Homo-oligomer: A and B are copies of this chain.
Amino acid sequence: MTKTEIGKMIEGLRGKKLGMYHKDFLLTWEKSRDELEATFIVADTLRAMRSAGLSPRIWDSGIAVSNFRDNSTRTRFSFASACDLLGLYIQDLDEGKSQIAHGETVRETANMISFLSEAIGIRDDMYLGEGDKYQREVGKALDEGLAAGVLPDRPTVVNLQSDIDHPTQSMADLLHLSHHFGGLDKLKGKKIAMSWAYSPSYGKPLSVPQGIIGLASRFGMEISLAHPEGYDLIPEVVALSAKQAKESGGSFKHVNSMDEAFADADIVYPKSWAPFDVMQKRVPLLKNGDQAALKDLEKQCLANNARFKDWECTEAKMKLTKGGKALYMHCLPADITDVSCTAGEVAASVFERYRDDTYREASYKPYIIAAMILLGKSKDPAATLARVLERGSARSQL
């Protein structure tokens, strides 16, 4: 892409009404349609600049805090790549190593790590009712720190996965769809099947399916949410998604068979998650470190899971989709039958056919994260990006 073409992408931001400056990115449904679109535009702009050999570096120095309260490879790398691309240095807030373990309050820590920080990425999805709450506490402390003149500026908080939403995943997924189908407007009327799938594991978070229905419902898509009885998501998120789907000119169906969801679908997203009520039961057990009860709960849950081994994205199931050619999506890693387990979410041949698509899907995440940071920090993102484009520094001397 030429500089002129990239400049035109940036121009696309001019008409958007944005209120993202000094705000956090926690749930997509707190953002306006303009704000979501701006995020996509900024992500695409940063990607285009990098592809054209131009450095999108915004900062000459500055800290990005990464706070991972759960394991992660891809999100950790996405966050690091995004921050490095913008010129930020990542400093882990490792609660094992740090004095948080010694009883420091969230409020104090939030200020202590933010004197020279621009962004804080938080992944906290273990405890239902906790992750989003914690992220808001951090955001509130930053507001207070800024107001008190303790902080020279306010770092922006990016939700890298909470108990409620996984916006960096869902936004990357939607950007992938937008590129795949030729534009955001092309998503209107497309049917997406967000379906539970069998996995030999237990306790997978709800944030991905919630994030997908919560975001796809903003773009006029026909959403079909499917899962076995008892595998509910957070009821409020389901209700909100249904409402949003209607408002955006799409539809929302809640069914209890994978076949029904897959029928004539343009896109399928078969993925395991734990039942909402099991996740609720886990919270006090995890907090008390009650290993015996956790083991017992896991056993029950796995036994129940085993009743739904036929919730697998097989070739037969794929045949039910539109022309048999729906786009398969997954946040990865998938449980692939006969590859990573004996029975899983997806048949090996299906996954193999879409492997590169799932990788491409994942490749948008660093740019989405970078866009979220930029929009939380710049008063006038179009002007910032235009300035960076005008500067025209090469990303490398190769």
Q: Which residues of A contact B (CB under 8 A)?
A: 50-51, 55-63, 65, 68, 71-74, 76-78, 80-81, 84-87, 89-91, 93, 97-105, 108-109, 111-113, 115-117, 145, 148-152, 332-333, 339-341, 356, 359-360, 362-363, 366, 377-379, 384, 387-388, 391, 393-398
Contact = CB atoms under 8 A, between A and B. Distances in A.
Contact of A112 (B74, B111, B377, B393): B74
Contacts of A99: 71-74, 333
Contacts of A62: 84, 395-396
A102 B71 contact: yes
Contacts of A378: 398
Contact of A81 (B85, B115, B359, B397): B115
Q: How many copies does the complex hold?
A: 3
Give the dominant DSSP class at A's interface. mixed
Interface-centre pick from A61, A91, A98 (highest chain B CB count, 10 A): A61
A101 B55 contact: no
A293 B113 CA distance: 36
Contacts of A101: 71
Contact of A72 (B98, B149, B356): B98
A213 to B, nearest CB: 24
A54 B360 CA distance: 38
Contacts of A80: 63, 89, 91
A372 to B, nearest CB: 15
Contacts of A97: 68, 71-72, 76
Given A61-B395, A78-B115, 14 more contacts: A57-B61, A59-B396, A61-B87, A63-B81, A71-B102, A73-B93, A77-B113, A77-B115, A105-B339, A108-B332, A115-B363, A149-B360, A150-B360, A384-B398
Contacts of A398: 58, 377-379, 384
Contacts of A108: 332-333, 359
Nearest to A21: B398
